[in-house]
Structure 1
Amino acid sequence: MRNANTMMRGRSQFLLAVFFCIAPAVADVQSEAGPAYSEVFYLSGNLRIQAYLYKPDGDGPFPVVIYNHGSRDGREAASVPFQYIGKMLTRAGYVVLVPERRGYGKSDGSMWRQDVGNDPSSLITRLQAEADDVLAAIDYLRTVPSTDTNRIGIMGWSFGGIITMLAASRSAAFVVAVDQAGGALTWDGNAYLRRALVGAAEKSVTPTLFMVAMNDRTTLSITTLVEIFKTRDVPHRMIIYEPFTPAQRIRVAAPGHALFSEQGASVWESDLVQFLGRYLGATVSDKRDGAAAPKAQQ
């Protein structure tokens, strides 16, 4: 396995929030670019949080996947429903919730830069607050009739992958987790972040799929956590993909990081759906035990 050890000096932008459920405001949205979704709002403490809810056809109850987005590099006010994720997972039989965590989209709360600025030590306080919000989203999901909240998965890309690890380490509600390049852009530049992620891996008992591209800024954020999961005998699988270059320009610090955007989705969709199905039961499970087998070396 080849590890990329390139240093990261940029800021860590991360997002989580405390979502205490209230009766949501709902607006159905249909777009030519993807499937219909409901725009919902619910409380996180005293903050009003925007989220996008996708549901498969039928009455359910369906298992659920919470998708955690990454940072937006100054475009926090944009509403981004991640319709390719909604389409991918609803056709596999899942309800999908995509929260716009505090400070993003139409959600209340301060933006990441306002809370963190250039102080790396304040990042974890912000991330743990956002992790509270993701955990509180479970309460909202219990109000959605078509959901089976005994079967909830959580996943995220980049900062969303970090949030996924933090939230999964703090709750037994998640049956499965997926970390897509969490920390790959920030691992070498923030010791506070490294300690928080290592601590989450040392505590988590959630079966987890770790995914990263060889040409991301670093693979250490993934391989370090996988070694901890191995030592603790926690079910997991690691996939290190061949180098990826996006066909269209995308604002990321390393080309491989864009693998988990819509441009790279066809590369990893089947791996994701198989792993989720193994634990959530919405699809035919992959019966092979591929734990810790790097795809690039198979």
Structure 2
Amino acid sequence: MSFAEPEEITFPSGNLRLQGFIHRPEGDAPYPAILLNHGSEHPKSGRLIAEPFVSRGYLVFFPHRRGQGRSSDQGAYIMDVIRQEPLSTRSQRFVALQETHQEDVVAALHYLKQHSDVDTRRMAIAGCSFGGIQTVLSAEKDLGLRAAIAFAPAAMSWAKVPELRSRLIQAVRSATVPLLFIQAKNDYDLSPTKAMAQELQKQNKPHKLFIFPEFGKTPAEGHSFCARDAQIWGDAIFAFLESTMP
């Protein structure tokens, strides 16, 4: 299947003017839609991870949060801010920055809702690593979402940032949509997804957890699972989406 080049757009988040990419599927609108959250890296268009969704008929919006990628002129890069914070307050700052970036995600969802090609009754959110954290935080809000897919949320920060652990457990306790957690076995840390899934089980809230076999040889390769092999994770994700967004 051939894929059209994504459309780069500008959207507001408070006083900021952020950039993002719209990937459209074939066929007639309106389309079910996925908002994809990038990690802590400087993202590009998101095409690699967007294509599996586009091939299934989903419109994908890949916004760049403040200080990153095409929005790098809109505020400081989150990792620079964290590294410059004194060790005594770094954990609190880490969580505060996640909340600040959540403002950009909510703004992106508001933009998506207003897009003429989107079926607003069938919207979901997904993300990997830092983007997985943003996905979990979004799942507790009333944003018109039907599902949330978190790849490896907090896999590199869970053990180091107790405040983040508490915040994410709070978020899943308040979850308003079904959550899917997904990771490769050799990712940095499986504890976050297991702990959050366990909390959702206690709360009797709809969720699924998939731990796939090792991907690559290193934790870094395992952590890149979300963007690398949709042939492995695709069936689980699309079955989840079809059950939550029929």
TM-score, L = length of structure 1:
0.76
Q: Separation in 2 of the partners of 1:166 and 1:236?
A: 15
Shift of 1:138: 2.2
Q: Does residue 1:258 correspond to 2:224, yes or no?
A: yes
Tell me the equivalent position of 1:90: 54
Q: Does residue 1:55 correspond to 2:20, yes or no?
A: no
Q: Separation in 1 of the partners of 2:3 and 2:65?
A: 22
Tell me the equivalent position of 1:99: 63
TM-score, L = length of structure 2:
0.91
Q: Separation in 1 of the partners of 2:115 and 2:231?
A: 30
Q: Separation in 2 of the partners of 1:53 and 1:172?
A: 19
Shift of 1:267: 1.2
Letter in 2 for 1:50: Q
State which of 184, 189, 204 in structure 2 corresponds to 1:233. 204
Shift of 1:104: 0.8
Shift of 1:62: 1.0
Q: Separation in 2 of the partners of 1:258 and 1:63?
A: 26
Kept in 1, the 8 Å contact 2:31–2:59? The answer is: yes
Shift of 1:142: 3.0
Tell me the equivalent position of 2:78: 112
Figure out how many residues of one structure are paired with residues of the other and give that number. 238
State which of 160, 166, 170 in structure 2 corresponds to 1:195. 166
Tell me the equivalent position of 1:26: none
Kept in 2, the 8 Å contact 1:245–1:258? The answer is: no
Tell me the equivalent position of 1:25: none
Q: Separation in 2 of the partners of 1:198 and 1:267?
A: 28
Kept in 2, the 8 Å contact 1:152–1:175? The answer is: yes
Asked which structure has the greater RCO (Cα within 8 Å, sep 6+), the reply is: 1
The 1:93/1:34 distance shift into structure 2, 3 A limit, reads closer
- Report the identity percentage: 30
Q: Does residue 1:274 correspond to 2:239, yes or no?
A: yes
Q: Kindly report which structure 2 residues correspond to 1:201-212, keeping only aligned pairs within 5 A, or say none.
A: 201-212=172-183
Shift of 1:35: 3.7
Q: Separation in 2 of the partners of 1:58 and 1:278?
A: 22
SS at match of 2:29: coil
The answer for unaligned runs of 5 or more in structure 2 is: none
Q: Which structure has the highest helix share of the two?
A: 2
